[in-house]
Structure 1
Amino acid sequence: MTRQIVIVGAGVVGTAVAAELAVLDGFEVTVLERESGAPRGSTSLAPGLVGIYNEAEILTTLARESAEVYSTLGAGFARSGGIEIATSTDSAHELAQRAEHARAAGLLVTETAPGGLPASVAGMVNADHVVAAWYYELDGTAAPAVITAGLRRRAEDSGARFVGGADVVGITSGTRASVRTRDGQTWAADEIVLAAGVWGPTLAGLVGIELPLVPLAHPYVYGPRRPDLHDGPFLRWPENHIYGRVHGDRIGLGTYDHVPVPVEQDGLDQGTGLAWSADLTPMVDKAQLLLDPAFRFEPEERVNGVFAVTPDNLPFLGPHPEASGVWIAQAIWVTHAAGAARALRSALTGTEPLPAPLAVDRFAGRDRQDLTSEALRLYQDIYANDSSASS
């Protein structure tokens, strides 16, 4: 008997899930996307840093598997490596410990002298500020739109159907679930997978679920094009909450060094690209002080994007016990998307249960305002997991 799966959201997460499920015998996969053209979710604005190591073991596993999948697509992903830089002795000590933990997890990490940084990034960094650096060999850089397109081709080649202009306004859970779109169509399903990123709370609300997922605004800027730049490892300055990479022939720079800015669901009507806020400009200017003076720039493009965070910096992945037939794959970045899709496939087919730390109902009974406060607190330490948040 054919098992009908309806996935809501055609960003990198929903498309990765479709690619994993469509190859299975007996599965009929339909992906519903609100936009008629390219999706306007977080995937479209992601800077494409795929850092493998995370303090949460499950995220390291999902990132490792995601990179393996992306490497098979033929385009959109490169094992460029990643470099973490310390600009103080305290930070150097913390990053040395982090590198040791990453090695214990089986990753390739080497300490690099400030004067021995790869040529592709050496000129970008103000060496006067660098105390120590570590190179994560298996990290990579991605073009999220290219990866998503590759996953979609894989899914469609296996029989998945993508439907644009399908704005979901109703979801019925139960033994025979269904999804209703604004144009009046109804899509029957054995299982529904909600993978609409920052719109997760709205979709979950359609089946009576309050999902503690907090969309936040986040600045990322691009400099002018210049011929002396070359692709290479991405950079992180953890103590300063700053990161950057070269995108072909221009520098991209992002910062978490600002007061978190929550975005309500009704503020996402036009997508995840918000109008630039002047309040973010001083933070971007401050971030540029870590660049070599010759590489500082007046941004040619300013992105005020939105991504979703949770109270413990872990995704929501799995079925919700309060809504039979409804599965949730939310708060998942490009870094973990393909790995999360693999894990979801294993759970749907009964091969392997999903990791307990990702349980959709792990915050049940907690005060919503407290959960939001915890998510905001973790914003600046986005690469860390706070296991106490769900205790």
Structure 2
Amino acid sequence: MAAVLPLTGVIRPYAWGSQTSIAELQGRPVPSPTPEAELWLGAHPGDPSTVIGADGPVSLAALIASDPKGQLGAEVAGEFGVRLPYLMKVLAAGSPLSLQAHPDADYARRAFAAQEADPDAPKNYTDAHHKPEMLVALTPFEALCGFRDPGESAAALEALGIDRLVPVLEALRKGAPGLADAVRTLLTWPADDRAALIDEAVAAGTSALATRLASHYPGDPGVLVALLLHHVRLEPGEAIWMPAGNLHAYVEGTGIELMAASDNVLRGGLTPKRVDVDELLRVLRFEVLHDPILPATELVPGVVTWKVPVREFALYRIDLGPVTPPVRLPGEGPRIVLGTRGDVYVAEAVDGTPVEITAGTAAYVPADTGPATLAGVGQAFVAAVAS
């Protein structure tokens, strides 16, 4: 049986990241020298984590490739091949992220194959996989997530008092069938009028969100598209779910993000990165999302999960008090355990050497470790393949 292994992730320094959140979580001095946006925990080829084995440090991706059935389990390896099917992140948004969506599995396969076959095709896709994702807040967290009722969106735009937005208002008054036209009109607004349009929207003073977004992305029509989405405010422990085709953007806060192991992102605005409006419009689902909040389910006292309809991943949170006995890790197959508070220990269920996890540190539990337990006092999140 394989041992539980300490795991070290990679921090990505995107400009929108926080200079305090991840450093504070890990107990490092703040502010950090540069923004720290995402702590990646997994085997994604873009930034695989490192595990400490008997022979020293090794890439988790290389370890899995050397023994896929042992590391992933025969069932997971048979279904997903030589790859960990999920990617866990600590996401720390110090400023708003891009308006974005992700393709479904079938579209991702076809689009990536077409892109690879055509050297002149726009490089929108990094792989052939979909990227459904969820986020659980660690701090108060703001996000834009899914289309709200078009009537509410029309009222918000009408309050700006900008006559040339009438075509957008007319589209929204058709309800969900008009969402595609409204979004297309805004994202393809004439370039020579964008700055003036957003300046007028800010000057109207009726939308604090538009004013805030425009301060980061002046002249970006995504500022107005944002008004068509739910503005979600999460308390710690609350979650949101972003399935394929769901237009969303994180605004501010720190959370645990878990997703299928892909980096396919289609952007439409609120970003200095590459934007492809036409491709984004192809993958968007123009439907009203009635409730963006993902409810928690308590499995046993101290252990909760947030159920999502995908096979690649499941997320659990375990809270251990001073008198809590060791808890068997939920989930099957390969698991990653991330500490977020206190001092906890992961070990094989029978005579295993425990691996200590403090806030911001992690451990990897191979499939052939078998049952494992979590003990100590604190809190940890467990990523696993859904059963």
Return the TM-score normalized by structure 2. Answer: 0.25
Return the TM-score normalized by structure 1. Answer: 0.25
Structure with the bigger percentage of helix: 1
Give the structure with higher Rg (CA): 2
